[in-house]
Structure 1
Amino acid sequence: MGSKNKLKRFRENETFTNVIQPSREELLQEDFKWKGKWKEFFNNDAPIVLELGCGKGEYSVGLAQRYPEKNFIGIDIKGARFWRGAKTAIEEDLNNVCFIRMQIELLAYAFAENEVSEIWITFPDPQIKYKRTKHRMTNADFLENYKKVLHSEGIVHLKTDSEFMHGYTLGLLHGAGHEVLYAHHDIYSNHEAPEEVVGIQTFYEKQYLEKQKRITYIKFKIN
């Protein structure tokens, strides 16, 4: 993407009512106005669902279209990417989805305890090299951060094309005593797969499937 396009998208994001861009200082100083008040933002009591590393926002928008009884928040540090999802949501008058530009590591500064019902992690970078372990979005530190904001019965979904990420996460979950509710190494081969998993596909996911690449899925609770 050219720098001119990025700048244009950044400017448009500033005008979108469904895009929130807190500064790092604002979050760390506990000055973020919506922490603990997301039901006020959406003006309803519906469950709050996050998509972490939402990219273009396709999955967040797809979930919002499919489940109007829930509120969805896509989170990514790259605002020029989720610009597309935010713009689509506005064009389709979807009031149950918004986007935050922030680092996922700061999640607990943007959401209060028990404020989140579900977390989706869709096609994260598997960070295969050992020295990149700390950046894997299902490592022990990340899971602890998720637990801080999740409801006691909260659910985490991991959907990935990486067999490494799937195996790593399953091993970590079992080893730490977390509760694996559902796991499959080739979700599209399972005719009983959850609708929210196979009913929504991102642009890159469709490309993976065309290349006959397996898509894996895990649904779990953090104990």
Structure 2
Amino acid sequence: MTKNKLARFAEMKTFPNVVEPEFREVFYKDYRLKGKWQKDFFKNDKPIVLELGCGKGEYTINLARQYPNHNFIGIDIKGARMWRGAKIALEENIPNAVFLRTRIDFITSFFEEDEVKAIWVTFPDPQPKKPRKRLISTKFLTYYQHFIQNNSPIHLKTDNYNLYHYTLSIIRENELYLLYAENDIYGVNNNQLEAIRKIQTFYEKQFLEENKKIKYVAFKLDKYKNLKEPPDD
């Protein structure tokens, strides 16, 4: 590990807008903030929105800027990347953007039933050979059912054709309510997509420079359905 990374990890431990639980605090047990994020951490009753696999935190920060009446939590395991977003949020005094460093496999340890209003998944690893590891797979959607409010939205942005169509297959197979699907958000003249285009992550900018099409899907997650994987990937 480089000295720069070590310095970032050390600095991040001093950030009041970063939560870094130890493994023993979440493995097969509930974390101390579960069900208490609004009251004990944000000190308000604003709705909570998650960004999963937040990377450098650009989306979390910009959503927080756009929607000051919501609380945003960016979640990732890679602390050296997360440091950037957390530092910007502190420097710019963005109190409704915070960061949680953990594996998303442990996410049910952190949030209580109906505690989360919406979820964003921005440019996740498409996992071409391991569909069950995709953050939009039925495995993970089942995790989200434990804490998201019923029929609240899941948002996906990706450059990956297969992940985009896999998500649409999940929606069809489980008869979930599709809010929006567009396979090239910059190639259509649609004002409804303006807020989606307005925020660009580090990776999104790279993909656009490579002339890749950016795709967007939004759907409502029925928390009471027994979800099934589509028959073909």
Give the TM-score range, shorter chain.
over 0.9
Percent same amino acid at aligned positions?
50
- Please give the secondary structure, in 2, of the residue aligned with 1:121: strand
Match of 1:48 in 2: 48
Structure 1, unmatched stretches of 5+, are: none
What is the one-letter code of the residue matched to 1:217? Y
Match of 1:20 in 2: 19
Is residue 63–residue 196 contact of structure 1 (8 Å, CA) maintained in 2?
no
Q: Quick one: distance in 1 between partners of 2:84 and 2:163?
A: 27
- Please give the secondary structure, in 1, of the residue aligned with 2:217: strand
Q: By how many angstroms is 1:209 displaced? A: 1.3
What is the one-letter code of the residue matched to 1:191? N
Q: Quick one: distance in 2 between partners of 1:83 and 1:76?
A: 11
Q: Quick one: distance in 2 between partners of 1:37 and 1:194?
A: 33
Q: By how many angstroms is 1:29 displaced? A: 5.1
List aligned pairs for 1:1-223, cutoff 5 A.
3-28=2-27, 30-40=29-39, 41-129=41-129, 132-192=130-190, 193-223=192-222
Q: Quick one: distance in 2 between partners of 1:80 and 1:39?
A: 26
Q: Quick one: distance in 2 between partners of 1:42 and 1:110?
A: 15
> After alignment, is 29-38 or 57-66 more displaced?
29-38
Q: Deviation digits for residues 60-112 of structure 1, max 9, x if unmatched?
A: 01111111111100000111111000000000000001000101111111000
Structure whose residues are more often helix by fraction? 1
> After alignment, is 184-193 or 162-171 more displaced?
184-193
> After alignment, is 143-152 or 24-33 more displaced?
24-33
Is residue 120–residue 154 contact of structure 2 (8 Å, CA) maintained in 1?
yes
What is the one-letter code of the residue matched to 1:35? K
Runs of 4+ in 1 over 6 A off after TM superposition: none
- Please give the secondary structure, in 2, of the residue aligned with 1:68: coil
The number of equivalent residue pairs is 220
Is residue 115–residue 149 contact of structure 1 (8 Å, CA) maintained in 2?
yes
Q: Quick one: distance in 1 between partners of 2:87 and 2:35?
A: 26
Is residue 54–residue 75 contact of structure 1 (8 Å, CA) maintained in 2?
yes
Q: By how many angstroms is 1:165 displaced? A: 0.4
Q: Deviation digits for residues 116-172 of structure 1, max 9, x if unmatched?
A: 00100000010112xx12211111111111111101131100000001100011011
Q: Quick one: distance in 2 between partners of 1:25 and 1:170?
A: 37
Q: Quick one: distance in 1 between partners of 2:90 and 2:115?
A: 25
Structure 2, unmatched stretches of 5+, are: 223-233
- Please give the secondary structure, in 1, of the residue aligned with 2:13: helix
What is the one-letter code of the residue matched to 1:17? P
What is the one-letter code of the residue matched to 2:198? G
Q: Quick one: distance in 1 between partners of 2:95 and 2:23?
A: 26
TM-score by length of 2: 0.91
- Please give the secondary structure, in 2, of the residue aligned with 1:201: coil
TM-score by length of 1: 0.95
Q: Deviation digits for residues 17-46 of structure 1, max 9, x if unmatched?
A: 000001222113535221101112111111
Cα RMSD for the two superposed structures: 1.2
